[in-house]
Amino acid sequence: MSRRIIPLADVSSIPDFAGTATSPSGLLTDTLARPLRDLRISVTDRCNFRCVYCMPREVFDKDYQFLPHAALLSFEEIERLARVFVAHGVEKIRLTGGEPLLRKNIEFLIERLALLRTPEGRPLDLTLTTNGSLLARKARSLRDAGLSRVTVSLDALDDALFRRMNDADFAVADVLDGIETAQAAGLDPIKINMVVKRGTNDQEIVPMARHFKGSGAVLRFIEYMDVGASNGWNMSEVLPSAQVVERIGAHFPLDPLEAHTAAETAQRWGYRDGSGEIGVISSVTRAFCGDCTRARLSTEGKLYLCLFAVSGHDLRGLIRSGASDDEVATAIARIWQARGDRYSQLRGSASAPSREDSPRVEMSYIGG
């Protein structure tokens, strides 16, 4: 039987830094005047879950070839690149995967990144997204290393359904234990991300809201997205966020809240009784490209300018070729200044690249 090949990244050349250097000023903007403020760093392409919308087992099976360790950015390389990004204006760094807690000694990387300061002298907002499977045993060491807070992916409270969705027979009780341990360790406020797939887990919307209401955690519902090429995405499986809010509001009255920042992806809703809030991320039905300030660094050091990108820019090759920090800064500046990505705004239009003709990078490789 022939095996399905899922392209992960292009083989782009090392970014250009020749000519006039661009010194970091913290004011870098792209072609749509969007500043660079957020950097998501994937520290591993491996995960111990096989969630159907991210790493389906029929693709990521026991024979799947993950990246060898030598291909991964070292902690020293990640810190060096992060330092340049911060000089260009990045204020928030999120560590992702795969499952980032599978990266050995990740606390050492967190310690390094926690020491970075913005040009104004402020510490970074340093966060991490996890499936929660290792959180109970690592929460305290992560907090001690300098991590600010965590986001936990949890798609159902029903244990049988959760086990089917993670396809690793992992119990929901263990994720909930990890959340409680993280809260006790001071990794607050914890955000809980639920990817809503119509016909699969949308019946869990209200139970999830009920469970986390008043807990101090912020529950966020994410529309099922057409990321990558392996998840068999279909628009019929997307439940619009407006319906999520409607379902919850029928049980617990909600009022809209103002966004913390213009670049915030989630629309916020507060419980009328003051017992907390929820968020909805409408990446399919309500594009937020116009305020996107995020760049993504893959496990092997490719810079992607959009979650739906087709190709990346090889920063690992650049730094391993002996480029100076000034040359790296110049290359990153030129890449960002040329950025015009806005896939979600173009989705469904004639100018949007098709999934078949231009396979996009996988979420498990670039991070969510």
Collapsed DSSP state (helix, strand, coil) of residue 152: strand
Binding residues for S-adenosyl-L-methionine: 53, 98, 153, 225
> Does an H or E element contain 98, and which?
none
> Does an H or E element contain 316, and which?
helix 315-320
Measured between alpha carbons, how far is 262 from 35 in angstroms, rounded to an integer?
11
Measured between alpha carbons, how far is 237 from 224 in angstroms, rounded to an integer?
7
- The sign one gets for the Cα dihedral 163, 266, 335, 327 is negative
Are residues 200 and 164 in contact, defined by beta-carbon separation less than 8 angstroms? no
Are residues 92 and 82 in contact, defined by beta-carbon separation less than 8 angstroms? no
> Does an H or E element contain 331, and which?
helix 325-337
Measured between alpha carbons, how far is 268 from 249 in angstroms, rounded to an integer?
13
The closest of 156, 245, 160 to 208, measured between CA atoms, is 156
Binding residues for [4Fe-4S] cluster: 47, 51, 54, 289, 292, 306
Read out DSSP for 2-40?
A: PPPP------PPPPP--SS-----S--B-TT--B--EEE
Binding residues: 40, 47, 51, 53-54, 94, 98, 129, 153, 191, 225, 289, 292, 294-296, 306
Are residues 99 and 46 in contact, defined by beta-carbon separation less than 8 angstroms? yes
Measured between alpha carbons, how far is 341 from 60 in angstroms, rounded to an integer?
28
Binding residues for GTP: 40, 94, 129, 191, 294-296
